[in-house]
């Protein structure tokens, strides 16, 4: 039989890792709902052409990252690499592309055939929101507020980078300019890269290639191609962010890797994950719904990498519940009784009534490995006296002697 193995970049998830992932997902859902975003689930499989028409056929995703397959009838399908295109497809196919403002969120697996490394997997979870049908700067700012609150609730330090890329005409003019500009350096750029850049020269702005970085430094910024109206809009967005005390840095090279963006684009970064520092990204996509055959409706949104955020929170995850250890069978029976009372008193409290036969030190280690903050180890002495030592494993609180009644009060 062939050796059993997981597929590269698609690890099984268990222990603290999945605890952190689930915590991030729940936090996202809570915050999304608090802004009245409603859940939308689309299938994991879509027609491949959906992404070619939205994400763009010169993007990395289409060029080299798609998981493609044919079904039994020869339809070209793929595992979704991101959530926006599927949601827009769903709006159109369900007749939801009307003028009503709609707010949707999704949390689910996405697939990209990238080289796996810290913070980068081939199957990963995105949590995203899409605000459909409002072209005001308040919509742009609302989604930034959602992002900010999610990151705050997860206690993840981050920096917000924003840029404004105008409309399709502005982007096209800028592309034409960049093509001419790059042509002067044709001899200095590796041939394959040069021709790839000619197809979508905007990618030169966030290229990782040192030579390109050097060349592009002296190019004119996209803001030179803004209309007066676009200039004002970007200024207005910045003023609104200032008044809401949302800190940001303007990064004129931030262009994002997907073709559907127009107007405001942004990314939140965090330095804990080395090269994979983008933890959340998004922006406005006012043409995508019409481009895919729906009505002309503006939209904006973002998605965050749940696995990426989980890798950052995993270190500060703790378990505020209680570990009830025991040293003999009578104590174990008492621990089960006490555990039952604690849980009935407080259904959200996490109580582990230890089932094995390890000694006291091993039980303490076990409690620590689960991340518990509090431990009680019950033995004959405790049963006789009715007083239990509540041990704190967090270094922040002192150990305390408590009766059963006091314990039930403390953890209610
Ligand atoms: P994106 O920037 O391609 O945008 O992905 C959003 C987030 O997904 C990234 O910031 C990153 O945290 C996470 N991510 C991407 N690739 C991987 C990977 N291989 N492993 C782990 N995490 C990853 C989008 O997908 C757009 N649909 C966002 C959007 C929604 N724009 C408007 N609405």
- The pLDDT score that the predictor gives to residue 315 is 58
Q: What is the pLDDT, as a whole number, of residue 320? A: 76
Contact call for residues 211 and 188 (beta carbons, < 8 A): yes
Q: Is 86 in the pocket of ligand 1 (CB under 6 A)?
A: no
Alpha-helix residue ranges (DSSP H) falling in 166-324: 168-183, 191-199, 210-216, 228-243, 288-291, 306-313
Q: Is the CB of 106 under 6 A from ligand 1?
A: no
Question: Which token pair is 188?
Answer: 């200095």
CA-nearest residue, atom 17 of ligand 1: 120
pLDDT the model gives residue 274: 81
Residue 161, ligand 1, Cβ within 6 A: no
- At a CB cut-off of 8 Å and minimum separation 6, what does 102 contact? 38, 91, 96, 131, 132, 133
Query: Nearest Cα to 377, choosing from 352, 350, 405?
Result: 352
Please state the atom number of ligand 1 nearest to the C-alpha of residue 301. Answer: 33
Distance (angstroms) between ligand 1 centre and the Cα of 54 equals 15
Could you list the beta-strand ranges (E) of 66-153: 67-70, 76-79, 102-111, 123-132
* Residue 389: its H or E element: strand 387-392
Instruction: Give yes or no for residue 84 CB within 6 A of ligand 1.
Output: yes
- Residue 278 CB less than 6 A away from ligand 1: yes
Contact 310, 364 (CB under 8 A): no
Q: Say if residues 319 and 370 touch (Cβ distance below 8 Å).
A: yes
Identify whether the C-beta of residue 304 lies closer than 8 Å to the C-beta of residue 324. Answer: no
Return the structure tokens found at 109.
Answer: 């697996």
Ligand 1 pocket test target in 274, 282, 289, 297 with most atoms within 8 Å of CB = 282
Task: Please provide the DSSP assignment of 364-405 as one string.
Answer: HHHHHHHTEEEEEEE-HHHHHH-EEEEEESSSSS--EEEEHH
Q: Which of 51, 139, 303, 307 to mutate to test the pocket of ligand 1 (most atoms within 8 A of CB)?
A: 303
**What is the distance in A from the centroid of ligand 1 to the CA of 234?**
24
| Residue 317 confidence (pLDDT) | 62
Ligand 1 proximity of 280 Cβ (cutoff 6 Å): yes
User: Would you state the structure tokens that stand for residue 58, as one six-digit string?
Assistant: 């010169």
Residue 27 sits at the vertex; the CA angle it makes with 24 and 30, to the nearest 5 degrees, is: 150
370-388 burial: b if 16+ Cβ within 10 Å, else e: bbbbbbbbbeeebbeeeeb
Tens of each residue's pLDDT in the chain, 412 residues: 679 999 999 999 998 899 899 999 999 999 999 999 999 999 999 999 999 999 998 889 998 999 999 999 999 999 999 999 999 999 999 999 999 999 999 999 999 999 999 999 999 999 999 999 999 999 999 999 999 999 999 999 999 999 999 999 999 999 999 999 999 999 999 999 999 899 999 999 989 899 999 999 999 999 999 999 999 999 999 999 999 999 999 999 999 989 999 999 999 999 888 877 999 999 999 999 999 999 999 999 999 999 999 999 865 566 679 999 999 999 999 999 999 999 999 998 999 999 999 999 999 999 998 889 899 999 999 999 999 999 998 777 789 999 999 999 999 9
Question: Which position has the token pair 């009505």?
Answer: 295
pTM of the model: 0.89
User: What is the reported pLDDT for 272?
Assistant: 85
Between CA 315 and CA 112 the distance in angstroms is: 26
* Ligand 1 proximity of 114 Cβ (cutoff 6 Å): yes
Closest Cα to residue 133, out of 286, 281, 253?
Answer: 286
The domains located in the chain, with CATH, are 15-166+226-312 (3.30.930.10), 171-221 (no CATH), 322-410 (3.40.50.800)
Query: CA angle 388-371-31, nearest 5°?
Result: 120
Q: How far is the CA of 281 from the centre of ligand 1 (A)?
A: 6
- How far apart (Å, rounded) are the C-alpha atoms in residues 332 and 329? 5
């Amino acid at each position: 039989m062939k050796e059993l193995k997981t597929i590269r970049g698609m690890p099984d998830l268990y222990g603290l890792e999945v605890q952190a992932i689930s915590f991030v997902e729940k936090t996202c859902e809570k915050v999304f709902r608090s802004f009245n975003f409603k859940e939308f689930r689309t299938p994991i499989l879509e027609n491949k052409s959906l992404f070619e028409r939205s994400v763009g056929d010169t993007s990395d995703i289409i060029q080299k990252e798609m998981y493609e397959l044919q079904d039994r009838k020869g339809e070209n399908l793929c595992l979704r690499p991101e959530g926006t295109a599927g949601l827009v497809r769903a709006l159109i196919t369900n007749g939801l592309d009307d003028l009503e403002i709609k707010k949707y969120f999704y949390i689910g697996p996405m697939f990209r055939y990238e080289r796996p490394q810290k913070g980068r997997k081939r199957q990963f979870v995105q949590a995203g929101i899409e605000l459909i049908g409002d072209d005001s700067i308040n919509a742009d700012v609302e989604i930034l507020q959602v992002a900010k609150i999610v990151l705050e609730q997860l206690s993840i330090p981050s920096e917000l980078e924003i840029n404004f890329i105008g409309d399709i005409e502005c982007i096209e003019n800028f592309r034409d300019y960049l093509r001419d500009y790059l042509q002067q350096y044709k001899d200095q750029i590796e041939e394959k890269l040069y021709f790839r850049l000619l197809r979508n020269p905007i990618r030169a702005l966030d290229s990782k290639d040192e030579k390109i970085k050097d060349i592009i430094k002296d190019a004119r910024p996209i803001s030179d191609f803004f209309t007066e109206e676009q200039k004002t809009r970007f200024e207005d967005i910045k003023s609104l962010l200032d008044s809401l005390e949302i800190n940001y840095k303007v990064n004129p090279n931030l262009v994002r890797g997907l073709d559907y963006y127009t107007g405001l684009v942004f990314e939140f970064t965090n330095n804990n994950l080395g090269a994979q520092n983008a933890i959340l990204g998004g922006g406005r996509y006012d043409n995508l719904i019409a481009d895919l055959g729906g009505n002309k409706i503006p939209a904006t949104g973002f998605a965050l990498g749940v696995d990426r955020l989980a890798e950052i929170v995993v270190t500060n995850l703790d378990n505020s519940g209680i570990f009830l250890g025991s040293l003999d069978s009578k104590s174990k029976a008492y621990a089960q009784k006490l555990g039952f009372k604690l849980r009935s008193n407080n259904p959200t409290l996490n109580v582990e009534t230890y089932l094995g036969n390890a000694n006291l030190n091993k039980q303490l280690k076990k409690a620590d490995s689960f991340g518990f903050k509090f431990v009680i180890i019950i033995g004959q002495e405790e049963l006789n006296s009715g007083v239990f030592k509540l041990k704190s494993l967090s270094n922040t609180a002192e150990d305390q002697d408590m009766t059963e009644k006091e314990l039930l009060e403390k953890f209610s």
